[in-house]
Amino acid sequence: MTFNLETLENRKNRVAQALSTVLGNEDLVLVYSGEPIQKSGGFDQTYDFLPHPEYFWLTGSRRPYGVSAYSKKEGWVDFALLVNRDEKIWEGGRESVAGLPIEDLEKWIEKRKPQKIFQLGLPKKQLSNTSAEELAVIQETFSQVRRIKDQAEVDLIKNISLMANFGYKKLKTFIRPGVTERDIQLEYEFEVLKNGAHKMPYGSIVGAGSNAAILHAVPTSRVVKSGDLILIDAGADVDDYCVDITRVFSADGKFSSEQNTIINLVKDAQRSSIELCRPGVEWRDVHLASAKVMAQGLKDMGILNISAEEAMSTGAISVFFPHGVGHMVGLRVRDVGGPPNPNPKKYAGARLRVDMKLQQGHLMTVEPGLYFIEALLNDAETRQTFGDQINWNEALKWREFGGVRIEDDILVTTKGPQNLTEVVEK
Ligand code: GLY
Ligand code: MN
Ligand code: MN
């Protein structure tokens, strides 16, 4: 089991404590693991089952069909699909599960006649009898607790970053002219899986040369050539916990001075953002810190015709830094990421889906990037919007360069930011 009973007990207590002011005495909360999804036309085949993160976090169980029930009167009561004969025959040993048989859940609920039923996780059958607003309050209360990483999660994530480091260390010697993006992906993933990871947390991103400017570059058969900068955004995953890391490499083992100019700018941006990852700081300010450093750099390079402050207020910097500076990470690569924010605001031209105050225990990626995206630099609408704020000819000179992103996973603590992925050299 990934987490020990004491850790799980603590989590259940923390949720109960948080619910104490928002849940009625006669109400019931049900957290569902979910069910395997059948492959279409696949007869008895299903996709690999991933328990809903809310359920896995709470119970440590990766079994489908489980439900953890909470009421103020009875505390937590677990229901599980007990390991059956077929599973023993077809799949061998399975984790033993604690809990009442899941078949008894409906009767158990009927007997108690709860006033309100709140369903979290992945319920199949709707039992909820509350408004969407009421459910959102319970959901957000649960999420607030889950956003604060506990020691067991931090230890696990640090371990996963060691697994990722095996991959990144291998790439230092593997990357050279003649290998393809796909070769790089396979080499990385082989090392990471060999060293304990269960899977990749997201499709590994590998971009050589101008492909480094594709934010979610899918590795292709493109061959690395001398002079290329190669961007790798790849992690590692154990039981859906993960790291999300980005590094850049040189085809030749040594970056050119032009490449170093941009890399150092992005590193400076990342340092100034990481420094702000402290309790009480607004996430938007962490974003703006990176935007400011990179805008000043572009101004100094003659690519921006306006001051860094102006480039942030008009959004011109977002032509080169078009994404938010990061997101919550931990249990899945997009961990429970802040209160629902359906109309995200723009800061320095980038839409930030995460827009909240940092708290001790939050784990955030900090991933500034500076890109020369030809599709944006030649886009008529973008050119019209920013007009002579940008020296387009100067910017286009860099189109073959691609881009640089550097990404680490930073834990917010009262003692200052703690980089959980610092083991991976940059
Ligand atoms: N790996 C995708 C991202 O950085 O968010
Ligand atoms: Mn990321
Ligand atoms: Mn990433």
- Could you give the angle at the alpha carbon of 265 between the alpha carbons of 298 and 404, nearest 5°? 95
22-38 pLDDT tens trace: 999 999 999 999 999 99
Confirm or reject: Cβ of 244 under 6 Å from ligand 1.
Answer: yes
Least confident of 85-94, 137-146, 148-157, 401-410: 85-94
Burial category of 297 from C-beta neighbours within 10 Å (exposed 0-12, middle 13-18, buried 19 and up): buried
Q: How many Å lie between the centroid of ligand 3 and the Cα of residue 128?
A: 36
Confirm or reject: Cβ of 202 under 6 Å from ligand 1.
Answer: yes
Q: Judge contact between 329 and 409, C-beta under 8 A.
A: yes
Confirm or reject: Cβ of 237 under 6 Å from ligand 1.
Answer: no
308-338 pLDDT tens trace: 999 999 999 999 999 999 999 999 999 987 7
Confirm or reject: Cβ of 239 under 6 Å from ligand 1.
Answer: no
Quickly state the pLDDT bin for 184 (edges 50, 70, 90): very high
Q: How far is CA 343 from CA 136, 352, 357, in A?
A: 17, 9, 17
89-101 pLDDT tens trace: 887 766 667 899 9
- Read off the pTM: 0.95
Q: Judge contact between 362 and 328, C-beta under 8 A.
A: yes
Q: Pick the atom of ligand 1 nearest to 334's CA.
A: 5
What pLDDT is recorded for position 32? 98
What pLDDT is recorded for position 44? 81
Of 243, 262, 241, 167, nearest in space to 206 by CA: 167
Whose structure tokens read 């997201």? Answer: 202
Pocket mutation for ligand 1, best pick of 232, 325, 367, 404 (most atoms within 8 Å of C-beta)? 367
Q: How many Å lie between the centroid of ligand 2 and the Cα of residue 112?
A: 44
Q: Judge contact between 303 and 296, C-beta under 8 A.
A: no
Instruction: Please give the sequence-ordered ranges of beta strands (E in DSSP) within 307-389, or none if there are none.
Output: 346-347, 350-351, 363-366, 369-371
What single-letter amino acid sits at 305?
N
